[in-house]
Amino acid sequence: MQVTVVTGSPAKGKALADRLNKEIRGCAARLERLYPEIEAEGRFFGTLPVEEGATVHGLHTETSYGATDVNLLSVGRDGRTVTVVGWGQMGDFDDAPLAAFKKTAKKAVTRLY
């Protein structure tokens, strides 16, 4: 999944990217607060050296009835354009193709203009 937004200015693009990163960082805590049957863990997997930068986050959830899912998310920016790339499947962090996801996220930001 990829969603791209073109804002009105580079400053607005930076503000949007910062806000998205903040919301993603707080996602695990929000999930646990809203859904007591879910245990969630968020991880920060660093930044990518592309355009104005990209960040990579992970989210693992496990329900009380045994379902377990892992998601990777990246927020990247080139000037006033911001993109979010997402990937998810059943499993945990060991099942996530982190290196391949980082490559995909970097390519997605490189192609923004």
Q: What distance in Å separates the CA atoms of residue 76 and residue 12, rounded to the nearest whole number?
A: 13
Alpha helices by DSSP H, listed for the chain, are 10-25, 27-34, 98-110
Helix (H, G, I), strand (E, B) or coil at 28: helix
Q: What distance in Å separates the CA atoms of residue 105 and residue 56, rounded to the nearest whole number?
A: 8
Query: Domains in the chain: how many in total?
Result: 1
pTM exceeds cut of 0.75: yes
What band does 112 get if pLDDT is binned at 50, 70 and 90? confident
**Domain span holding position 57:** 2-110
Q: What is the pLDDT of residue 83?
A: 98
Question: pLDDT, tens digit, for every residue of 48-103?
Answer: 999 999 999 999 999 999 999 999 999 999 999 999 999 999 999 999 999 999 99
CB 41 within 8 A of CB 70: no
